[in-house]
């Protein structure tokens, strides 16, 4: 039972990461996040610099909201958007785990290459070219 629950949680975590990475894949959405990293903003403020309709920007915002990267709150008639740092913390954790994995692998490869190079330099010197 515990194992099933752990698998469900892992699947949910994977789905959230997939949604965040898919949301970050678009340059318009990354620009929106960049803008929101400075301060929260109204939807209309976010739409101003983009050469597209407010409706098109709203679609990008909905993708960011669905991924959990952006949160919306209403203040009267205004819709105020802000970054949900927790969703980016999950991505940061995944990146850090992946970086750690690859650093260990690359360090091991570097050690192996040094050993091979050392063995090659100290190998028999009386070998003829082309013979094995």
Residue 126 has pLDDT above 70, yes or no: no
Digit-coded pLDDT (tens) for 62-97: 999 999 999 999 999 999 999 998 888 888 999 999
Is there a contact between 46 and 35 (Cβ–Cβ < 8 Å)?
yes
Digit-coded pLDDT (tens) for 15-37: 999 999 999 999 999 999 999 99
Indicate the pTM of the whole model.
0.72
Is 116 contained in some domain? no
- Indicate the length of the chain as a whole number: 132
Task: Give residue 24's domain range.
Answer: 2-84
Q: Where residue 7 sits, what CATH number does that domain have?
A: 1.10.10.10
pLDDT number for residue 12: 87
Q: How many CB atoms lie within 10 A of CB 24?
A: 16
Is 97 contained in some domain? no
Is there a contact between 80 and 73 (Cβ–Cβ < 8 Å)?
yes
Residue 44 has pLDDT above 80, yes or no: yes
Is 48 contained in some domain? yes
Is 98 contained in some domain? no
Is 115 contained in some domain? no
Is 15 contained in some domain? yes
């Amino acid at each position: 039972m515990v194992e099933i629950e752990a698998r469900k949680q892992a699947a949910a975590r994977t789905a959230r990461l997939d949604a965040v990475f898919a949301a970050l894949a678009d340059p318009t959405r990354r620009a929106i996040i960049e803008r929101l990293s400075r301060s929260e903003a109204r939807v209309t403020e976010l739409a101003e610099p983009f050469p597209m309709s407010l409706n098109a920007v709203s679609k990008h915002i909905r993708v960011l909201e669905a991924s959990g990267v952006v949160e919306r709150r209403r203040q009267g008639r205004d819709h105020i958007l802000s970054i949900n740092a927790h969703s980016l913390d999950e991505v940061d954790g995944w990146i850090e785990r992946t970086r750690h994995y690859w650093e260990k692998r690359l360090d091991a490869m570097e050690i192996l290459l040094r050993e091979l190079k050392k063995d090659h330099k100290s190998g028999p010197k009386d070998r003829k070219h082309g013979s094995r």
